[in-house]
Amino acid sequence: MAERVNAVKTSFFGKGAIQLLGPEVQKLHVQRALVVTDPFLYQSGAAARVGQVLSDAGVEYAIFYQVQPNPTVQVVEDCAAAVRTLSAGLLVALGGGSAIDTAKAASILAANGGRLADYEGTDKSRTPGVPIAAVNTTAGTGSECTDFYIVTDPVRHTKMAMVDTNCMVSIAINDIDFMLSMPPSLTAATGMDALTHAIEAVLSRGATPLTDKDALWAVEQIFRYLPQAAADGANEKARSRMAYAEYTAGMAFSNAGLGMVHAMAHALGGRYNLPHGVCNALLLPYVLSFHTRCPVCCRRLTKVAHAMGLAEENAQAVISAVRTLSSQIGIPDRLSRFQQVDPAHFPALAQLALHDTCMASDQLEPYAEEVAAVYLAAFRGEAQMSNL
């Protein structure tokens, strides 16, 4: 079967890579840009630093700094309105997945009109969005190199997952100077998001030799360097390796697809406004345990175990290693650690997860009752899923 491969037009890595944004933006011949960021990065001076690069390149700019974690439809609509008001020819996302996804969604909305819900699913937009440059400040989502974006719908209490090649970033900057100040909890959560991308890409129905190569390299790097980056944020080698690893994990899942962990995490994060990376990290061992009934998944998890450098190359060893890594970097081990999580919601969350676009590339086609049972096992912290 023919395979489509998506990639960012131009990506820059390394300390000082931000200085390469100006010359690259000049090639686009735009007059005005909208910097899309959050209040913290606005107040920290990071947005002004990016703005100076744009000014030096002869591009006028304004700053939209209303991005929030788990960005909502309203934030995206406000951002799209700012794009139209400014007649911006470029969006410059500054931040992690929330800022980059807000820019992607606003770019599609500004170029295509309509409502955001019109674009839920796969390749629903008609024309390419307004061009985007992304200055990434976390090492996790891979949003700067994927054709995915996620927006929270507070009315339905869930997250809409959009897969659309028209939303892809044109210029990606992964400059570790913008990542060194990430606190340990954000480093841990975003790093585990990247690990989940890599593992789900390996297990996916859409996996290919190309995506396996990226994903397994990312697994190896994340296992080696995430504990170091979380323990010592100033460790530039660990930060640099995590920046490459989250990017390659992003490349892998953008082309292979994701699976049940992300489908369940979207429903969970949308209902309780929990951090995406924490939802993935927490659900990952329970969903992997559920997948031990799948011979294809067990075979592929031996490759994951090999990339992790484990003594035993099997699914159970991977599950144990994921639990150990999460514990080491301070990720909660069960959903009951969060007071707002109510098991009475699990049947409804399971229905939302089954309709999430990420579910389509999972090897299994579970019943809603099975998905709800995985939520319950994660709530209770049950080590084994063999009773399902």
CB of 253 to Fe ion, least distance (A): 8
Interface stretch with Fe ion, choices 1-9, 107-115, 185-193, 244-252 (CB under 5 A): 185-193
Residue 38 or residue 193: which is nearer to Fe ion going by CB?
Answer: 193
Residue count at the site for Fe ion (CB under 5 A)?
A: 1
Residue 107 or residue 280: which is nearer to Fe ion going by CB?
Answer: 280
Interface stretch with Fe ion, choices 165-173, 190-198, 358-366, 374-382 (CB under 5 A): 190-198
Q: What is the DSSP letter of 12?
A: E
Contact, 131 vs 110, CB < 8 A? Answer: no
Interface stretch with Fe ion, choices 124-132, 153-161, 193-201, 304-312 (CB under 5 A): 193-201
Residue 112 or residue 254: which is nearer to Fe ion going by CB?
Answer: 254
60-64 β-sheet, strand order? 10-13, 171-174, 132-136, 90-95, 32-36, 60-64
Residue 50 or residue 282: which is nearer to Fe ion going by CB?
Answer: 282
Residue 193 binds Fe ion, judged by CB under 5 A: yes
CB of 258 to Fe ion, least distance (A): 7
Helix (H) or strand (E) holding 319: helix 315-328
CB of 277 to Fe ion, least distance (A): 7
Residue 90 or residue 218: which is nearer to Fe ion going by CB?
Answer: 218
Residue 222 tokens, joined: 């994340």
DSSP state letters, 103-169: HHHHHHHHHH-S-GGGG-EES--SS--S-EEEEE-SSS--GGG-SEEEEEETTTTEEEEEE-GGG--
DSSP state letters, 239-307: HHHHHHHHHHHHHHHHHH---HHHHHHHHHHHHH---HHHHHHHHHHHHHHHGGG-HHHHHHHHHHHHH
**Residue at shortest CB range from Fe ion:** 193
Interface stretch with Fe ion, choices 186-194, 218-226, 230-238, 292-300 (CB under 5 A): 186-194
Distance CA 338, CA 334 (A): 8
Q: What is the DSSP letter of 11?
A: E
Interface stretch with Fe ion, choices 17-25, 100-108, 187-195, 302-310 (CB under 5 A): 187-195
CB of 27 to Fe ion, least distance (A): 30
Residue 57 or residue 197: which is nearer to Fe ion going by CB?
Answer: 197
Residue 101 binds Fe ion, judged by CB under 5 A: no
In order of 241, 330, 369, the CA distances from 232 in angstroms are 14, 14, 42
Site residues for Fe ion per CB under 5 A: 193
